[in-house]
Structure 1
Amino acid sequence: MTEKATYAYGEKICSWLSLKHDMTKPQLISLLNDKKIVQVDSGRDIVSILTDDGQVFIASDVKSKWETNKTLRLINTGNDCFKMIACGRGHLLMLRQDGHVFAMGDNSYGQITGNEKSSFESMIHIAKLENVELIVCGRFQSLSITNNGEIYSWGLNEFGQLGLGDEKNRNTPCLIPFPNDDLIDIRIKDIVAGMYHSLFLFENGQLWGCGSNKYGELGLGVDIKRSKLMKIPIENVQKIACSKFDSFSLAYDGSSYYAWGRNSSWSAPKKLDYHPTSFASASTMILSSPLTFGITSTIYEFGSQDSISYQCKSIIQLFDNQDSYDVEFLIDKKRIKASKCYLKSVSEYYRRMFSGNWTENDQVTIDDYSYETYYAYLRMLHTGKIHINRQNITELVDLANCYGDEKLMKYCETFIRND
């Protein structure tokens, strides 16, 4: 998106929208001019788009049952104003501003609701659900959270992915029991649904899961499926993600990313040590290419592409290198290795730090900044490039002020103006 236009890139999406795919540039979607997209989700042969004025559009394969006629099809033609969408493999949920849920698409396993036939032409109101705040789709299952913290699920339950304690399919929303008494007064924070499993994140940072565990997607260290919610051995989780088309899970605890599933060797959560900055980059540890999860926070990369070209490789190798360091920065029991001489040459702050009484100091404890933020800053001093997003902008502004780094401050100011 730009300020007033939206573009599409890729052979498949362009064919769905009657646009000519061009490898060298994206194509303008004129129907979305002056509209801002706030959410995107996709199924096997459908892409759904939610705009900030509550309109829902879909695009699909010409061979699908959605009948979009190779253009964007507007779903809500009346006064309905939606605030959230979710796609399964072949069905679509829409959450209206008043907390009511509507559904369309395939209903082979009751993932829409009731004994209704599949509906690709019109919306079906899920009457049993009210005051809903969040909707989620797995491959063939649907889930929701109400404003009082109740969790409902319906659809395919062959592997126990609905968390109801059995493996019977449901064609109406059913209340999921809380896993134990300890969570009675703790609100649910988020739900994500995979191909045949579901994950539940609570406000206290505990993560629970149910469903298929054939590939270790529940992170329990065994391959036994679970029809009741089971606690996953990872603490202080802040965010979670998984794909409705695959059997793996991802989590973020505020400082590190974890992954599990996809194969038996990943049957328990593994910390990813190569410092991914998003779930998309974390997915590359399991998949051969990145997997995106709808619209994510905008990330601006500052520093020109040729900023490294004039720096010899020996300088880059001074950063976090076991064989060429004389100082360690200690942050939350983690270490970042560097060269005093080089840091003094590029930063007045470090020149003062490693002079006088600091000359012989080979360990520096950092208490004011997170490991990820400080790692990104030190890496910028060696490569000339840094990633800035909404999660690290506050710390980076403070660091730029404290360290008197004018270049970093300009990067932060540019990010704030753009974002």
Structure 2
Amino acid sequence: MEDRPLKPTHHSGEATLWQVDLCGHVMVDVTKWPIFSLMGPEELSSIRTACVFGSSANEAIYITNDDEVFVFGLNCSSCLGTGDSQSTIVPKKLDFFSGRKVVSLSYGSGPHILLATDDGELFAWGHNGYSQLGNGTTNQGVAPMVVSVNLLNKKVTEVACGSHHSMALTDSGEVYAWGYNNCGQVGSGSTANQPTPRRVSSCLQSKVAVSIVCGQTSSLALVDNGEVYGWGYNGNGQLGLGNNGNQLTPCRLVGLQGACVQQIVSGYAHSLALTDEGLLYAWGANTYGQLGTGNKSNLLSPVQILMEKERIVEVAACHSTHTSAAKTQSGQVYMWGQCRGQSIVLPHLTHFSCTDDVFACFATPSVMWRPLSMEHDDFLTVAQSLKREFDNPETADLKFCVDGRYIYVHKAVLKIRCEHFRSMFQSHWNEDMKEVIEIDQFSYPVYRSFLGFLYTDTVELPPEDAIGLLDLATSYCENRLKRLCQHIIKRGITVENAFSLLSAAVRYDAEDLEEFCFKFCVNHLTEVTQTAAFWQIDGNLLKDFICRASRCGAFKN
């Protein structure tokens, strides 16, 4: 295994690693986790994904831009997978994973590690006292090993770990579980430990799971129709079943009836769910206020947590902590539960820009609730420079007039970034007569967002204006902008605007958005049909919707 030296950081312009992606995750500095603070700018700049874990947040695994896997830290139970039990402050390369691309990573409390690669293979190492590595033994795994029993010809896409049990999700929506099973957390119908992966069936047999999470000794699965199923330990009500009896096989959370869940997370003994309407539900243990209800009483069934009436877009928790966090549509981040020893019983507004910072700074231990995706950012990039010059009259050589207001741009940038403008600014273009271009077919917010997108690759618009931008993107054949508009609309969909958004998706031939809006309307059919938007829609679209909804069984008794 190759060692990677750590270089001390002495200069003010040190590298910073940020989390950022198309789905809107805001940036986070990985050096907020102390274990990474010894790494210098060269090492930090090479990292693409990182995960901090362990009972004291003293172990870390990271993946470089070249798909190399490195580990360092205390190495409890050989959880670093280096082939021995030696601690290391110098990152060591796991040659075993050279040339493999990691798609999912999770850790247990032992600790043990599960890792899935893009070809669907599953690997495990670390603590194995309860067969949580899935190899049929209880021998500690000092190096990564393939988990293959009952998974041959299966493609694993997601992994999850509890304290000493493990789960895997396949691309066909099947859930497998193994390891410690004293409370039924493997879902096999008994309390005997499960030494190898076994499919979790029962009422999940005909369901397509899309996400899996673990509490310490409990398990949850989210299926494609927005239903949530739970099994395992339930002494604190963390399964949300309305009682505190353990559940040996999956059982649907009837307390979420009528809600279409999009995201689930589990803490040590509590759970959170986020619906497609941006509503937050919580249940389970509440000793530290981790449910956000304002008191410390456990809840056996899901209850809605009010967050200043603003839509929630992300919730966060992990089985190692009693901490909860959430992010709103406007980018505000709240935390509650156990925060540096204090019990915060109501969601508390922070100055953070992402939920990950909550766990870096306030959780005990300060582990990561999910692996972080990174990109290097220690200087003003081309993209940042372009963003700074957008709508700057001092450097612009062209301006658009929309609704009587000017937007200042640079012809060269528009020609480089957009085929529409490249065609417009051909050699016959009379530059002396065209210092101002009048636009009357789009509104000022829409057109300014479009031009801003050409400079920044990002869009900031409410869903209603994003419809207009979707129209523009369709007209100008800007496919990526079209996708971003659809993403904004999906996050902003409500009962009141759902049918209008469905109509727009049909009008602009956005098939993915159309399917999303249709499912939302069906999931909330009663409320949607009572809105003004539903009855103002074109008759043909209304007929098509009713026929399609009928075929989906929406009108069955």
Length-normalised TM-score, structure 2 = 0.52
Q: After superposition, what is the alpha-carbon deviation per residue over 1:262-300, rounded to whole angstroms, capped at 9, x for unaligned?
A: 166510001102x34x33322244237743123223232
State the one-letter code of the partner of 1:294. Answer: R
Match of 1:267 in 2: 345
Report the RMSD for the aligned CA atoms in angstroms.
Answer: 3.0
SS of the aligned residue for 2:372 comes to: coil
Match of 2:154 in 1: 80
Match of 2:143 in 1: 71
SS of the aligned residue for 2:315 comes to: strand
State the 1:4 CA deviation: 4.3
Match of 2:121 in 1: 55
Pairing 1:134-283 to 2, within 5 Å after superposition: 134-179=211-256, 184=258, 186-234=259-307, 235-254=310-329, 255-262=331-338, 265-273=343-351, 275-276=352-353, 278-283=354-359
SS of the aligned residue for 1:174 comes to: strand
Match of 2:533 in 1: none
SS of the aligned residue for 2:326 comes to: strand
Distance 1:258 1:222 in 2: 17
Aligned residues: 314
SS of the aligned residue for 2:192 comes to: coil
The 1:28–1:155 alpha-carbon spacing in structure 2 relative to 1, beyond 3 Å, is same
SS of the aligned residue for 2:369 comes to: coil
Alignment pair present for 1:398 and 2:426: no
Distance 1:92 1:347 in 2: 50
Give yes or no for contact 1:14–1:21 (8 Å, CA) kept in 2.
Answer: no
Distance 2:337 2:96 in 1: 40
* Deviates further, 285-294 or 71-80: 285-294
Gaps of 5+ in 2: 1-62, 132-137, 381-387, 396-450, 459-557
Alignment pair present for 1:36 and 2:101: yes
Give yes or no for contact 1:279–1:292 (8 Å, CA) kept in 2.
Answer: no
Match of 2:83 in 1: 18
Distance 1:62 1:112 in 2: 15
Q: After superposition, what is the alpha-carbon deviation per residue over 1:192-220, rounded to whole angstroms, capped at 9, x for unaligned?
A: 00111110100111100101111100001
Alignment pair present for 1:104 and 2:178: yes
Give yes or no for contact 1:280–1:291 (8 Å, CA) kept in 2.
Answer: no
Match of 2:375 in 1: 299
Q: After superposition, what is the alpha-carbon deviation per residue over 1:88-131, rounded to whole angstroms, capped at 9, x for unaligned?
A: 011001112221111111001000021151123x1112122131
Overall identity of the aligned pairs, in %: 25
The 1:111–1:348 alpha-carbon spacing in structure 2 relative to 1, beyond 3 Å, is closer
State the 1:179 CA deviation: 4.0
The 1:213–1:351 alpha-carbon spacing in structure 2 relative to 1, beyond 3 Å, is same
SS of the aligned residue for 2:248 comes to: strand
Match of 2:168 in 1: 94
Distance 2:302 2:240 in 1: 6
SS of the aligned residue for 2:113 comes to: strand
Length-normalised TM-score, structure 1 = 0.68
State the 1:136 CA deviation: 1.0
Distance 2:99 2:194 in 1: 31
State the one-letter code of the partner of 1:117. Answer: A
Gaps of 5+ in 1: 305-345, 354-393, 402-419
Distance 1:16 1:219 in 2: 38
Give yes or no for contact 2:81–2:94 (8 Å, CA) kept in 1.
Answer: no
Q: After superposition, what is the alpha-carbon deviation per residue over 1:123-174, rounded to whole angstroms, capped at 9, x for unaligned?
A: 1121221311111111111011112222110011111111111111100000
Q: After superposition, what is the alpha-carbon deviation per residue over 1:242-280, rounded to whole angstroms, capped at 9, x for unaligned?
A: 12122110111131111000166510001102x34x333
Distance 2:184 2:130 in 1: 20
